[in-house]
Chains A and B, each alone.
Chain A
C-alpha cells in the first residue's frame, strides 16, 4: 500500500520544504518515505510541485501519478493538479482559491492558510508550516514528536518559537469532525 501526496504552489512558498518535513516525520515515525520535486529554473515564482510517497513496504517508483492528497497554495497549481487526482482524494487549498469543476467539495478543505500565516503567526513565509500542521491533523499522519522532529531538522536555528506557533496555528484550523472525515486510509 502506497499513500501518495502532492504539494503545489508557486516557487518560494515553501511547498517543497513542507513535503520534506512530512517525509522526515514519516521516517522518524518508522515509515518508509520517498520525497521528490519538480520545478522550473526560476528561484522564485513559477509552478512548483513536490511529492511524498509513504508506505510500510519498500517504495520502488518514486513519483506520484494520481495523488491521494493534494495541497494547493495558488489557483494555477490547484487548477492544474486537480485534473490528475486519485478517486476519493483529499484536496487542501487556501480559502482564497476557487475549487475547479471536478473536485468534490465534500473531499475538499478550503482553509485560511495564507491569512493565518500572515495575521496570526505574523509572517507569510510560515504558510508552509501552517499547512504542515493542518495536513498532519486532517489526515492523522504522525505523532506530535515525530512531526516536531521533522520540522526541527529543517528550520534555521533561532526560528523554533515562530515555527511552533505556525505549526499550532495550522493544527488548530482542523476541527474534530474534519480530523475524522479526512483521515488517510491505513497503510
Chain B
C-alpha cells in the first residue's frame, strides 16, 4: 500500500531520511536554523535503538561523531554557519583518517552570528575549503523536503562507500519549509553497508588498499583488533610517518578516490535545457524561485532551462561543459555575494558569458527578480 502524504519540515525530513539510511548516533550543539534536527534526533533516535548526545560545543560534537563512526556506527551532526566553522578542524581529521560521517550545515545569513533566522548560501566555498590542507570533499544540496529525505540517504551511502565525511549543505529555505511528502517504502531504498574487514594480516595493514582500488575496508575500532587512528600522515599500518613518499601517496590516494569516481558521485538536475539558449544555474532552496521564473520565461518565449548541481562539490564541470555549445548565456542565482558563480565561470572558460544575480540581506530572491534579470540580459 502506498504511504499517505504527510506534511514534513525539511529539517525533520533530514532526520527521518538519515534514520532510514541507518544513522544511529547524533552528537551536536543546537543552532538556528538547524535546531529542529537536534530536537528530532533527541526524540527519534532512542525509539530506534540509537543514541543522541548534546555535547558542550560544536568542536566536541564533531569529535564525538568521528569516535562513534570509528566504532562502526553511522553518525551525523548538524549545525549552521558559526558551528560549521568550529567543526572544520575535526572534519579534516575525518578526511585524513578516512572516517565516514555526515555533517549537515543549514546555512543562515552573514558572517559571525549574522542574521540567525534568515536564509543564505554563503557557506558554499567553506564546504569545499573550510578545513585546511588539500583534502577530498563531497557536498550535496537538496531543494525540497522530499529531496532532503532521499539525498541524505545518498550522503550516508557516499560517505560509507568512499570513507570520507560528506557535507549536507542545506539552507534556511529548505530546512524550515514544510511541504507534503510521501515517505518512501523502506524496502525501496538502497542503503550502503560499511565495507568491513577484520583480516588485515599479520602486518596490521589497516589502511592497505588492493592494487587499483582507492578505499580501504574499515574495521570497527574497539572490536578486538588493535590498530591506530591518527590525524598525522600515516602509513598503511595507521602509525605516523615522516616519509614524504608515503605521505604524498596517501594524500594523492585521498584526492583520487573522489576525482576518479566523479561519474558515480556527481548528480545534476537539468530541466528544460534541451532547446535552451540560456541556462540558469543555482543550488539548494534557490531552485524554487528559479523554476518558477523558468516556467514564466518560457511563457514569454525565452528559451530558458535550469542547471542545478545536486552534488555541489565536486562541481559538475563535465556536465556544464557539455551544455556550452548550445548556450548563449548563463545566469547564476545564489543567496550570496557570488560563490558558485566562480566555479561556473571557470567551467565556462569565457566561451559563454556568465551573469550573476545574488542577494545576502536575509531576504529571498523572487521569481520576479530572476525574470527581470533574464529580460535585461536577453541576447
> What residue in chain B is nearest A46 (Cβ atoms)?
B117
Chain A CB within 8 A of B5 CB: yes
Shortest CB-to-CB span from A27 to chain B, Å, is 4
Interface-located stretch among A33-41, A107-115, A130-138: A33-41
Which A residues touch B308, using CB under 8 A?
none
Shortest CB-to-CB span from B356 to chain A, Å, is 20
Shortest CB-to-CB span from B52 to chain A, Å, is 21
Chain B CB within 8 A of A32 CB: yes
Chain A CB within 8 A of B375 CB: no
CB within 8 Å for A62 and B173 given contacts A36-B178, A40-B117, A41-B32: yes
Which A residues touch B285, using CB under 8 A?
62
Which B residues touch A32, using CB under 8 A?
179-180
Flag if B288 contacts A23 (CB, 8 Å): no
Which A residues touch B232, using CB under 8 A?
none
Chain B CB within 8 A of A24 CB: yes
Which B residues touch A60, using CB under 8 A?
288-289, 291-292, 295, 367
CB within 8 Å for A35 and B7 given contacts A27-B180, A40-B117: yes
Flag if B116 contacts A41 (CB, 8 Å): yes
> What residue in chain B is nearest A32 (Cβ atoms)?
B180
Flag if B6 contacts A27 (CB, 8 Å): yes
Which A residues touch B261, using CB under 8 A?
none
Flag if A27 contacts B292 (CB, 8 Å): no
- B348-379 with Cβ < 8 A to chain A: 364, 366-368
Shortest CB-to-CB span from A94 to chain B, Å, is 25
Flag if A37 contacts B179 (CB, 8 Å): no
Count of interface residues, chain A, beta-carbon cutoff 8 Å:
22
Flag if A59 contacts B179 (CB, 8 Å): yes
Chain A CB within 8 A of B24 CB: no
Shortest CB-to-CB span from B328 to chain A, Å, is 24
CB within 8 Å for A61 and B288 given contacts A23-B7, A41-B32: yes
User: CA separation between A37 and B180, bound complex, in Å?
Assistant: 16
User: CA separation between A59 and B144, bound complex, in Å?
Assistant: 10
User: CA separation between A32 and B364, bound complex, in Å?
Assistant: 21
- A12-37 with Cβ < 8 A to chain B: 20, 23-24, 26-27, 32-37
Chain A CB within 8 A of B74 CB: no
Chain B CB within 8 A of A65 CB: yes
Chain B CB within 8 A of A183 CB: no
Flag if A20 contacts B364 (CB, 8 Å): no
Flag if B177 contacts A35 (CB, 8 Å): yes
> What residue in chain B is nearest A51 (Cβ atoms)?
B177
- Determine which of A36, A38, A61 lies in contact with B292 in the assembled complex, contact meaning CB atoms within 8 Å: A61
Flag if A27 contacts B295 (CB, 8 Å): no
Chain A CB within 8 A of B87 CB: no
Which B residues touch A65, using CB under 8 A?
366, 368
Chain B CB within 8 A of A63 CB: yes
Which B residues touch A36, using CB under 8 A?
173, 176-178
User: CA separation between A131 and B314, bound complex, in Å?
Assistant: 48
User: CA separation between A36 and B179, bound complex, in Å?
Assistant: 9
CB within 8 Å for A41 and B177 given contacts A27-B5, A65-B366, A65-B368: no
Shortest CB-to-CB span from B245 to chain A, Å, is 52
CB within 8 Å for A20 and B7 given contacts A63-B366, A65-B366: yes
21 contacts between A and B (CB under 8 A): A20-B178, A23-B7, A23-B178, A27-B6, A27-B7, A32-B179, A32-B180, A33-B180, A34-B177, A35-B178, A35-B179, A36-B176, A37-B176, A38-B118, A41-B116, A41-B117, A59-B179, A60-B288, A60-B289, A61-B291, A62-B285
Interface residues of B (CB under 8 A from A): 5-7, 32, 116-118, 173, 176-180, 285, 288-289, 291-292, 295, 364, 366-368
Q: A36-B173, A38-B117 are in contact. List 6 more A-B contacts (CB 8 A).
A: A23-B179, A33-B179, A35-B179, A36-B178, A39-B117, A60-B292
Q: Which 7 A-B pairs have the closest CB atoms?
A: A27-B180, A61-B292, A60-B291, A35-B178, A60-B292, A24-B7, A34-B179
